[in-house]
Amino acid sequence: MQSFWYRDVTQANFSSDIAHDLSGFLESIGSACGPETVTTDASVCGNYGQHTLPDADHIPSAVLFPDSTAAVQTIVRLANQYRVPLFPISMGRNLGLGSRAPMRSGQVVVDLGRRMNRIVEINDDLGFCVLEPGVTFDDLYAELERRGGSLMMSPTAGPPDGSVLGNALDKGGGSGPAGNHFDSVCGIEVVLGNGDIIRTGDGGLNADAHPNWHVTKYSFGPALDGLFTQSNYGIVTRAGIWLTHKPAHMRLFFFTFPDDADLAEIVELIRPIKARNLVPTLIRATNDLYLLSSQEQHPRYGSRDCSPLSDDERRDLQKRYGVGAWTVSGAVFGENDAATLRAMDRLRGHFQASGKARYISDEEARERPHLHAAVKSNSGQPAAGELGMLRWRPGDGAIWLTPGAPMIGSTVNTLQQECRRIANENGLDYMASFVCGPRFARGVHAIIFNRGDERERQAADRCYRAMAEAFRQRGIFVGRSPTSYQSFHQGQRTPEITRTTAALKAALDPNGIIAPGRYGIE
């Protein structure tokens, strides 16, 4: 028994109030699961603790690398015994939302992605896959292509080495027809905080085979999958995820609109198209700086005045890249090229009727690097392009604010105007993208700042809170939350909801072992 590995572990920075025995816990994990399962190396822990949010890093006291569901169960049981709080991640590429840092310093990160990275199954006929947490968007794309490409997934425009399962569990979003990723989750395996292993849906039938596990969500009893999204009741060790059958032909489209206030008209134009399903993909409306910040740095950064770009400066930038204040993107599908061209003619007539929209064709878009992220992600291909926006200002600071709104033009436009004002008042540029379905526009606001500059850190924090509060006053909530703001958002909910999430926590994780504080649940 090599107990000396853990002698140097400091417990001083444990900010959890659970009584614990960290050294005893880590020794027991090493004995039960093998020494390669544990590290307390200071530089490794330091790396896992980094994130892009305004507050200080949250450094874990150890990182664990289980290789199986059984190992995860052992870890959870020992964590209960030694009262050590865990923080599970899949690939931990949750940029702008907390990266792979735990909720609080001292929590032990359980990195599932490193060794649990099998594609368990791909079912070409029924259109689903079963994945372990470490399967990345790049991995799944490569495997689907290797099999002949009859199925496609919905990637994010975020890190291609992010986890498909982790992103879906945290209600991530992407492009294409299946852009709301949690919608595609069907049937999961979870190690609960109390150490039990459960399989949701028809996976819970006492039988040797489970042919319905990943094909229906409407099984006997309550639909439990939803309990494990944005919560801390268990550690998910595998998930069924639905895939889309690739169309014979696909044609991307882009329309640019010149003015900020055109967002109202854009939303009104998109709604009937999505309501009648004339376009199978979600349709995205992205503002100038969200789109173009990936291409260059703030032109005045480093000089004394790096105030937000003026309207004239933005117009110059738009002109240089051949876009407008808003760029609308999506794709039509068809049996052959002629069918997609016919669909495009109808769509052009619809969008260009008011005389404001300018069309950018599929062929033209492929020539323009700033549109590549949209081209790729609508085609089911992971694309890192958008992440370039972190270089708009130095210092790698980024917060994602993710409110949504009903698909009513005036509502979405008012929010846009108000958030633009708040960003500019805080000395920051307004960057936003709305991903539109028939009823709901999922909004993504990127707050990009220099994390190395205390004034910018404070400005970004003020900006996030002010925007979130402006949304709350209109009854609009965020869809995902950065870890550092989860208790703030829980405080915006009714006490009855907080009591309910706490009661579920007490039932499923009575010792509060899994990610205490995650999504405001202690």
Under the rule (CB under 6 A), what is the footprint of ligand ADP? 88-94, 98, 100, 112, 133, 162-163, 166-167, 169-170, 235-236, 515
Q: Which is nearer to ligand ADP, 309 or 515 (CB)?
A: 515
- Interior angle at CA 207, CA 205 and CA 210, nearest 5: 70
The nearest distance, CB 308 to ligand ADP, in angstroms, is 29
CA neighbor of 364 nearest in space, from 373, 372, 353, 355: 372
195 Cβ neighbours under 8 A, 6+ residues apart? 73, 76, 77, 80
Contact 462, 426 (CB under 8 A): yes
As a whole number of angstroms, the distance between CA 115 and CA 242 comes to: 23
Angle, alpha carbons 102-107-113 (nearest 5°):
55
73, 191 in Cβ contact below 8 A?
yes
Instruction: Give me the least distance between CB of 365 and ligand ADP, in Å please.
Output: 27
User: Is the CB of 117 or the CB of 416 nearer to ligand ADP?
Assistant: 117
Residue with smaller CB distance to ligand ADP, 78 or 415: 78
DSSP state letters, 131-158: E-TT-BHHHHHHHHHHTTS-EE----SS
| Least Å from the CB of residue 98 to ligand ADP | 6
CB of residue 121 to ligand ADP, shortest distance in Å: 18
Residue placing its CB nearer to ligand ADP in the complex, 112 or 373: 112
170 vs 288 by CB, closer to ligand ADP:
170
We find the least distance from the C-beta atom of residue 326 to ligand ADP, in angstroms, to be: 27
Please state the closest distance from residue 132 (CB atom) to ligand ADP, in A: 9
Q: Which of 92/330 has CB closer to ligand ADP? A: 92
| Nearest residue to ligand ADP, scored by beta-carbon proximity | 166
- How far, in Å, CA of 261 to CA of 112, rounded? 45
* Min dist. Cβ of residue 166 to ligand ADP (A): 3
- Residue identified by tokens 């896992």 is 48
What 8-state DSSP symbol labels residue 180?
B
- Beta-bridged to residue 452, according to DSSP, are none
The C-alpha atoms of residue 485 and residue 507 are separated, in whole angstroms, by 25
User: Of 157 and 263, which CB lies nearer to ligand ADP in the complex structure?
Assistant: 157
Smaller CB separation from ligand ADP, 112 or 435: 112
First to last CA, the chain: 35
Closer residue to ligand ADP, CB minimum distance, 153 or 270? 153
CB of 359 to ligand ADP, least distance (A): 34
Q: Which is nearer to ligand ADP, 79 or 343 (CB)?
A: 79
**Pairwise CA distance, residues 192 & 235, whole Å:** 6
Q: How far is the CB of 188 from ligand ADP (least distance, A)?
A: 9
Please report how close the Cβ of residue 205 comes to ligand ADP at its closest, in angstroms: 23
Residue bearing tokens 């109390």:
194
The total number of residues written for the chain in this structure? 522
Task: Check if the beta carbon of residue 402 is closer than 8 Å to that of residue 442.
Answer: yes
CA 436 to chain centre: 16
The sign of the CA dihedral 477, 481, 485, 490 is positive
